[in-house]
Amino acid sequence: MSVIETNNLTKRFDKLVAVDKLNLSIEEGEIFGLLGPNGAGKTTTLNMLSTLIPPSEGHAMVNGFDVKKQPSQVRHCIGFVFQDPSSDDMLTGRENLYLHALMYGVDMSNINEKMNNVLKLVDLTEKQNIRMKQYSGGMRRRLELARGLLHEPKILFLDEPTLGLDPQTRQHLWAYIKKLSTEKKVTIIITTHYMDEADQLCDRVAIIDHGKIAALDTPQNLKSKLGGDVVRLKVSGKPKLDSVKRLRYVKNVKREDGFVSMSVDDSGKHLQEILKKIGDVESVETRKPTLNDVFLHFTGNEMRDDAGEGGWFEKAMNSNRGNR
């Protein structure tokens, strides 16, 4: 059963189209990843689905509720962990959790047990009575995660949830996210720049660029679509690319930074012929495709470091304030 459905969901900021006719169907209990360069439309999509900003066009249903017509009902069944900390610096970690529990109507009869559980999960039990202003960046991030999980939402939005966390804490949180999905049927929508995170966690991923879906499938199927092995060659002089491109078992030939990369079916069988045709080769690397290869194939970009969607969201908030 689909718990999130979008139909031509679109968001414009002046002349800029941040999200362009997005169509998604996400199932109950699914871990769904949104991947893309900075400014691709990922965070804007989450903001629309969580009713933080209204769509310009199209429709979205979240747990059976319309994000435009029934925003209050949507908010009651979702949790959101933002990229930037939003807790109160003057309150302790535990006080922040308690305030969140009151806002979301958590049952007071077991509130302490719930707070203890999430504090233990993110390894903040011993720091729970310290004010937030004394927390390190990593501690703040972990408390944000605990807060998002406290009220046990049916749908959980995670915007770069493990950004800045150490590998051990990341692995621990991955295990808990999987448990939420499999045991409690929580639907989780995650944005991440960590390709290994998306590969290990997500049932399906959508690669978004310039507000549009470039590809959508399971991580394994997306990797399979690249075909064969990734072969990367360092060639002295000018490589003979045309002769290599004509080989039937070679695809996606690219030249960048002094290297030539390509997808090769059964590279062990055909590598010698490629080496003979391409020119003087200094080094050879072969490996299986990764999700990062998929990302670069469909977007043609490294991760962008511009202001991206943050500027769009800021515009939207300022616009909303001006309309009050």
pTM over 0.85: no
Tokens of 15: 């002349």
pLDDT score at 301: 53
Do domains 2-222 and 228-288 share one topology? The answer is: no
Please provide residue 4's backbone torsions phi and psi, each rounded to the nearest 5 degrees.
-135, 125
* Separation CA 143–CA 120 (nearest Å): 11
Per-residue pLDDT of the chain (324 residues; tens, 9 = 90+): 799 999 999 999 998 999 999 999 999 999 999 999 888 999 999 999 999 999 999 999 999 999 999 999 999 899 998 877 788 999 999 999 999 999 888 888 999 999 999 999 888 999 999 999 999 877 888 898 889 888 888 999 999 888 877 888 788 888 888 888 998 889 999 998 889 999 999 999 999 999 999 999 999 999 988 878 999 999 888 888 998 999 999 988 888 878 998 989 988 899 999 999 998 899 999 999 999 989 988 887 554 544 445 444 444 444 444 443
Contacts (Cβ under 8 Å, ≥6 apart) of 116? 125
**Which regions of the chain does DSSP assign to beta strands (E)?**
2-13, 16-27, 31-35, 57-62, 65-66, 78-81, 155-159, 187-191, 204-209, 212-217, 229-236, 250-256, 259-264, 280-287
Domain 2-222, what architecture?
3-Layer(aba) Sandwich (3.40)
115 closest CA partner among 96, 135, 130: 96
* Separation CA 37–CA 60 (nearest Å): 23
CB 303 within 8 A of CB 33: no
210 closest CA partner among 18, 55, 57: 18
**Per-domain boundaries in the chain:** 2-222, 228-288
Amino acid at 304: R
What would the CATH number be for the domain defined by 228-288?
3.30.70.920
pLDDT score at 176: 81
* Separation CA 68–CA 90 (nearest Å): 34
CB 142 within 8 A of CB 93: no
Tokens of 70: 């029934």
Contacts (Cβ under 8 Å, ≥6 apart) of 94? 115, 119, 128, 129
